[in-house]
Amino acid sequence: MDFVKEFATFLHQNGAIKFGDFTLTSGKKSSYYIDLRIVPSFPHQFRKMIKSLQNLVSENIGFDNFDCLASVPTSGLVIASALALEIVKPLIYVRNKPKEHGTGKAIEGKLRKDMRVVLVDDVATTGISLVNTIKTLREAGAIVTDACVIINRFEGSTDLLNKENVKLHEITNVIEITNLLNKENLVDHQTIELVKKQTGLL
């Protein structure tokens, strides 16, 4: 909780979370915007985030219960790479689209059949990109039962992954972050209501 409180303030101070009217990559409208790609520019905070993710994996999954980390480019790959170094696990990543030259691979790195893979990404929104990645990994013979993100936006990802028999783990979520920012007088109650409405919790 101490990390999340500090992390929420850090995100707000550095413009990694903004409140207003935004259009997401999917075309969906949003009352807030999260961009964790700024975090690696602050190495001390980045390291704390990776350590928190390491604790999440250790407590909720267990290092002995998987063989490899996998990621979706690009923002998730930076996080997964740092985590892989910390926990000394192999890393693979799934391309947004297969290479159009050479071998035409959709997955980079060494993936063996029946390898137990934990998927890592930065933010979970609808969960569609995570599910697409899970399907690609499974088609290649991987076993995927868990996915980890830094922030859950509560916009359908948990339920969508459940349908694929994959459990979604997160360090924090947008409601928790907004409530913490409100306690620090950095956002007002109206902002909390708008975020709850966005998540469907109102």
How many CA within 13 A on the CB side of residue 8?
A: 21
Q: What is the pLDDT of residue 186?
A: 95
pTM: 0.93
Tell me the percentage of the chain whose pLDDT exceeds 90: 82
pLDDT surpasses 90 at 114: yes
Per-chain mean pLDDT for the chain? 93
Q: Select from 120, 155, 119 the least CA-distant residue to 49.
A: 120
Number of domains in the chain: 1
Burial class of residue 126 in the structure, from the number of CB atoms within 10 Å of its CB (0-12 exposed, 13-18 middle, 19+ buried)? middle
Rounded Cα–Cα distance for residues 32 and 91 (Å) = 31
Which whole number is the average pLDDT over 178-195?
A: 94
Which whole number is the average pLDDT over 72-95?
A: 94
Rounded Cα–Cα distance for residues 124 and 55 (Å) = 19
Q: What is the pLDDT of residue 154?
A: 93
CATH number of the domain to which 74 belongs: 3.40.50.2020
13-68 confidence digits (pLDDT tens):
999 999 999 987 777 789 999 999 999 999 999 999 999 999 999 999 999 999 99
Where in the sequence is the domain holding 137, given as residue range(s)?
Answer: 2-199
